[in-house]
A and B are shown apart, each in its own frame.
Chain A
Amino acid sequence: MSAAEGPDAHVRARSGGPLSLGAGVAAPAGMLRLTWPDATGQAVPVWPDGVTPSLLDEYQVAGVPVERAGETRRVLAAVLKCCWTDLTMDPWPGDPAPVELVLDTYRALIGRTDDLMRNWAIGALRRLHDSAWIVVDDGVVALGPRCALWPVESHAQLQELVRRLPEPERPDLTVVRDADIVAAARPAEAAPSPEAGVRVEGGAAEFDDLLGGYDERRRAELVAAFMVVEHAAEPVQEVRFAALRDPALRHTLGEMLARRGRVLIQHRDHWTSGYDDTLIAADVSTRLGVRERAVLTLVLVHSVAIPRAEGLLPEDSWLSPHPTPADELRRHTQLPIGELEAALRTLRHAGLLSQVKAGEEAGGYVPGPQFHRLTPAARRRLQEELILAAGPSTPLAAAVRARRSAQ
């Protein structure tokens, strides 16, 4: 992926995770450059005025739900314990460590040794890897680019945490030493020179020209509104944020979002943000694989299209209170069960599906909070695509095709 400019780069980073940068290529504005020894690097978006999504807690707004949050964070703590060996340095990049060492550390942390715990920990490692918090490769774990986003002020807290985590009790009989495992997995870096310059370079300040004209309080309100529309799980109430209430501030907020390829989306008196439709280039595609998209389409058909055809779902929304039974997905579709389970896991993790539990067997899946973020145009397009796919020979599909060719 080549380094794209401005909003386009942010769209790619939000939909596809951290960007890779070629040697010597600077990070786009508003992104941190994580530089490797060979001068290539990765870029991760940062937030204005040094805030992080933890800001949402201060406003008591729920962020994107983390699947199995406690477990995932404990495993991340175990990874940190193993990889952050020199506490005088920043946590990222740290040193790679074998997966088994991380699992032993996690085991010592929670005091359980059964297979179930191991499976859970491996699931958490996979989720952390998918969200770029860690990088798991060939039995070796390293801290991922998102770890570079922890603000410097919080490093002391992390150091304290790492110090008090228990050391794993490891039998002395280990056949291969940890260092050898790491060295074997990374032959290219067998002789790393510490001065080669793995470093974090701050991106260019992004919003200063927009925010500079405002006093401290307004500036803080704008940044808060920016963070909540971008990171809250659900649309937020207009009355709670001055920058959403006041049309002038809202205009500036819109400009801030535009630099990230985003637009404000209004649901009555609630606001959230979504991708700017005009910026979605043909080659930017979502990271979802074929099976994930197929399962998501099935849930949309069962939870939205069918209830709407039956008149049970009046609103123009892709969210739905009608769960798609897991059994329906398992038995009455062309998807193999193994692929189905893996796809459901990925979709849940990405907030594209929510699991609804009801009783022993009932319950199922509904479209997740990400569907709040579809613009009206995207909602319409999704609907047309569904009609074209489900009833390609109906007059309705013909009308859709006719309108598209007219445009």
Chain B
Amino acid sequence: MRVSEQPLTLDAVLTDEAVLSTYRRMFAALARDSGAVVDDPALVDIAETLFAAFAEAGEEWLTHEQMRFVCRAYPSDQFDNRLRVLKGLGAIREVFPKPNQLRYRASFTSVVGLMFIRRMMDDGGQSEMHRLLALEDLNVADPRTTMEEARQSAVNLARAFRLWALELITLTTGTIEELREQAPKLWGTEEIARRAQGLHGTILTRWPELDRVCTDLRAAIYAYSDASRRAAGRLADSAGTTRNLTLLPTETWRTFSQTASKERLAAVLDGVLFDAPAPWHDPAAIARAVDEAPRPAPAQPTPPRSHLPDPGPSGSLDSSPGAAMERLRSVAESLLGDSSRVALADVLGPDWPSARRLLADLTTVDLRPELPFRLTWSDELTVDPGREPAWLSHGWLERTS
């Protein structure tokens, strides 16, 4: 535009050439060859890897071999293609322009351009639009700004909003999946619309003669707000209750939870009714809880002791090592007398307590291999209710040597 209004001078051609080269450099990272844009994201990664290496190298610059080394993860034909394009577009240039130059440097513009493109890819340009609007706001308020510049900026904004709205409308009528993926990146918040309207107001107040351009801008802003609302409405309706919350980004939720006042948080649950606490305490459960109460360990009472000194019957027990054996031998001998075998039924007394004691002693005798006696039992069993013991299994005490 400037070209047509100004006489075609060498300076003008040079300025245009400068703009063009800036453009070329900015999109060098995306170009497959000098005439087209890349179709493989890996190619952009190569550029980014190269720029990172250049930043690290500092004033050492990089040689071709070093560049190849940092990009060793990529196939060499891809790398060569990239380097050729980046060099061709001036994103990577010789440190000093002369033939057979070995060291290269990167262009600052290309790096900034790449950052911008990455950000655009992430949020679809929403935050870019915020920045742009903020900048334009400053620009039109600046006393040095000319009417022509303001007009240009209004025209650009109107075009951006129109294109944005068109894309949203296309999405709104398309598949719901696509809408869900894309729409939140595209739709504007009320803040964007408000800023744009503020900007529009500023331009119109300062340059009333731009009213036709401003009408265009106003219409574009309205169209955009309307398209945003329609897209959101369709999503809210179709997504049902399940996924609505996904339509607000995580950061919005975090900001809300960190900054909202107590009252604002509480207001969310104003219309929701919950039960008052009403646990049921069943009598049986109460009794069980009492039974299961952790109890302190009761102090154990010591058994009662006599106040008088009482040595007990300890003196009457012969505690010498052979005494027990000797006693058992005498018991057995007294029962056997001279004979080598005696029936148990004959030697047991008539009362059970003494018979019991005797049987215990004889069993011990039987189990002591060093004593020359043994018990042998028969299968015979006599039952006599009148006698004691009433049940009697017969057996003999025998001398073994």
Contact = CB atoms under 8 A, between A and B. Distances in A.
Interface in A346-372: 349-352, 370
Contact of B272 (A17, A302, A332, A382): A382
Interface stretch (B94-102, B150-158, B259-267): B259-267
A334 B232 contact: no
A381 B269 CA distance: 10
Interface stretch (B213-221, B239-247, B342-350): B239-247
Interface string A323-362: 0000000001111000100000000011110000000000
Given A293-B269, A390-B248, A76 B286 contact: yes
B249 interface: yes
A333 B280 CA distance: 35
A286 B278 contact: no
A285 B229 CA distance: 33
Given A77-B290, A297-B269, A305 B253 contact: yes
A350 B275 contact: yes
Contacts of B275: 14-15, 350-351, 370, 373
Main secondary structure of the interface of A (DSSP, over half): helix
A323 to B, nearest CB: 14
Interface residues of B, number: 67
A379 to B, nearest CB: 6
A287 B256 contact: no
Contact of A63 (B188, B189, B280, B294): B280
A276 to B, nearest CB: 10
Given A15-B276, A379-B241, A399 B265 contact: no
Nearest to B244: A383
Contacts of A294: 262-263, 265-266
Contact of B276 (A76, A287, A387, A402): A287
Interface stretch (A23-31, A64-72, A170-178, A251-259): A64-72
A304 B250 CA distance: 11
Interface centre among A71, A284, A286, A382 (most CB of B within 10 A): A286
B337 interface: no
Contact of A396 (B188, B244, B280): B244
Interface size class of A (residues with CB under 8 A): 35 or more
Interface string A35-58: 000000000000000001110010
A380 B256 CA distance: 19
B370 interface: no
Contacts of A155: 283
Nearest to A301: B257
Given A111-B296, A393-B190, A314 B269 contact: no
A109 B293 CA distance: 8
A239 interface: no
A389 B260 contact: yes
A11 interface: yes
Contacts of B59: none
A291 interface: yes
A150 interface: yes
A161 B286 contact: yes
Given A308-B245, A333-B258, A77 B289 contact: yes
A14 B187 CA distance: 44
A186 interface: no
B75 interface: no
Given A161-B286, A308-B243, A399 B232 contact: yes
Given A349-B277, A387-B248, A402 B270 contact: no
A390 B256 CA distance: 5
A295 B231 CA distance: 33
B317 interface: no
Given A74-B293, A157-B283, A314-B242, A290 B278 contact: no
A378 B241 CA distance: 11
A72 B257 contact: no
Contact of B229 (A73, A284, A399): A399
A249 interface: no
Given A110-B294, A111-B296, A373-B275, A386 B258 contact: no
B8 interface: no
A94 to B, nearest CB: 15
B91 to A, nearest CB: 37
Nearest to B188: A395
Interface stretch (A129-137, A194-202, A208-216): A129-137
B244 A315 contact: no
B121 to A, nearest CB: 20
Nearest to A324: B257
Contact of B279 (A64, A110, A352): A64
B36 interface: no
A390 B189 CA distance: 13
29 contacts: A54-B282, A65-B279, A67-B279, A70-B289, A73-B285, A74-B293, A77-B290, A80-B286, A111-B295, A131-B278, A154-B282, A155-B283, A280-B271, A306-B253, A333-B257, A334-B259, A334-B261, A334-B262, A373-B275, A383-B245, A387-B244, A390-B253, A390-B260, A394-B189, A395-B233, A396-B232, A398-B229, A399-B229, A399-B233
Interface of A: 11, 14-17, 52-54, 57, 63-67, 69-74, 76-77, 80, 109-112, 127, 130-133, 146, 150, 154-155, 157-158, 160-161, 165, 231, 275, 280, 284-288, 290-291, 293-298, 300-302, 304-306, 308-311, 314-316, 332-335, 339, 349-352, 370, 373-374, 376, 378-387, 389-391, 393-396, 398-400, 402-403
Interface of B: 187-191, 228-229, 231-233, 235-236, 240-250, 252-290, 292-296
Given A306-B253, A332-B258, 6 more contacts: A73-B286, A382-B272, A385-B268, A394-B232, A394-B252, A403-B236
